[in-house]
Amino acid sequence: MGAQRVAEMIAYVGVEAALEDHFSHGCYPPIPAIMLPVAKTAIRCADAGDWDLQIVLPDGVQWRRQTSCSVAAVIDGLRLGAFLHTINQNGSN
């Protein structure tokens, strides 16, 4: 999903719905909704420049056999690049 489409979706339906749409329609295989809080945290941390911060993953979710992963890995793995710098700019949480 491109940055313009992300910004438009956030303006109309909010961050949560835009991420849900991205996870269910923009990713293959679809990403489960359990990852929404992780995605939102990773976006905020990346926007703040905290790319190496470790984020604890939800119960039962592992990344490379670990229960946490870096903000950079979340942004890359969940394809969230277009969401960077959109949450706070649009007044959304």
User: pLDDT tens digit string along 46-85?
Assistant: 999 999 999 999 999 999 999 999 999 999 999 999 999 8
With a cut of 50, say whether residue 91 has pLDDT above it: no
Average pLDDT of the residues of the chain: 89
Range of the domain at 48: 3-83
Q: Does residue 44 lie within any of the structural domains?
A: yes
For residue 26, pLDDT beyond 90: no
57: in domain:
yes
46 in any annotated domain: yes
Whole-angstrom Cα distance, residue 53 to residue 59?
A: 19
Residue 93 lies in a domain: no
In a domain, 88, yes or no: no
pLDDT higher than threshold 90 for residue 90: no
Could you write out the DSSP letters of every residue in 49-63?
T-TT-EEEPPTT--B
Q: Is residue 61 part of a domain?
A: yes
Q: What does the pLDDT read at residue 3?
A: 80
Q: How many domains does the chain have?
A: 1
